[in-house]
Amino acid sequence: MKVSEILKPENIIPSLKATNKNDAINELINLFENDERIINLEEIRNSVFSREEIMSTGVGKGFAIPHGKTNATTEILSAFGIARTPIYYQSLDGDPVQLIFLLVGKDNMVSMHIKLLSRISRLMNENGFREKLLKAETSEELYKIFKEEEDKLILV
């Protein structure tokens, strides 16, 4: 499964309103408020914030990947947002975050969840890719950048 298969333009926020970590995560989760794949939005929120309490998902280079696993969804969900003003995120490298990719997996799909986390990290590790994302202005542009970059990679 490719990242571009689970990320849709309607779940991309080119300019997050949030100015802090928790609000940014909530803003992305709230995109699924009326999504028919959601069984319980609060359980999804709890799974993501529970994971965040274990260790910050701010992985470095201005990127964070908040994630959780729960059966409160019928399938894997993802959302992406850009904080145009960098936000403090307790990142591993201490730097603020601008690029936030939310991933919510199902409890019984651990292997796929781990593969997707790895693919997202691999994409975000590329300086040029992150720079392209920061220059994009619309959700459609951002989606296209994800798709094109992913198509360049040989994914296992």
Task: Point out which residues pair with 140 in neighbouring strands.
Answer: none
Residue 111 binned pLDDT confidence (cut-offs 50, 70, 90): confident
Q: In this structure, are residues 94 and 27 in contact, taking their beta carbons and an 8 Å threshold? A: no
Q: Is residue 155's pLDDT more than 70?
A: no
pLDDT tens digits for range 14-25 = 999 999 999 999
**String of DSSP letters for 48-112:** HHHHHHHS--EEETTEE--EEE-SSBSS-EEEEEEEEEEE----TTS--EEEEEEEEE-TT-HHH
Kind and range of the H or E run holding 5: helix 3-6
What the block records as the tokens of 78 is 């993802």
* Whole-prediction pTM: 0.94
Q: Is residue 119's pLDDT more than 60?
A: yes
Counted domains in the chain: 1
Look at residue 154 in the predicted model and tell me its pLDDT.
61
* Mean pLDDT over each residue of the chain, to the nearest integer: 93
Q: Is residue 156's pLDDT more than 60?
A: no
* Pairwise CA distance, residues 41 & 32, whole Å: 8
Q: Is residue 145's pLDDT more than 80?
A: yes
Which residue segment(s) compose the domain that 98 sits in? 3-152
Q: Is residue 61's pLDDT more than 60?
A: yes
Look at residue 110 in the predicted model and tell me its pLDDT.
80
The burial class, CB within 10 Å (0-12 / 13-18 / 19+), for 109 is middle
* Pairwise CA distance, residues 136 & 8, whole Å: 15
Comparing 119 with 72, the larger pLDDT belongs to 72
pLDDT tens digits for range 26-60 = 999 999 999 999 999 999 999 999 999 999 999 99
What CATH number does the domain containing 144 carry? 3.40.930.10
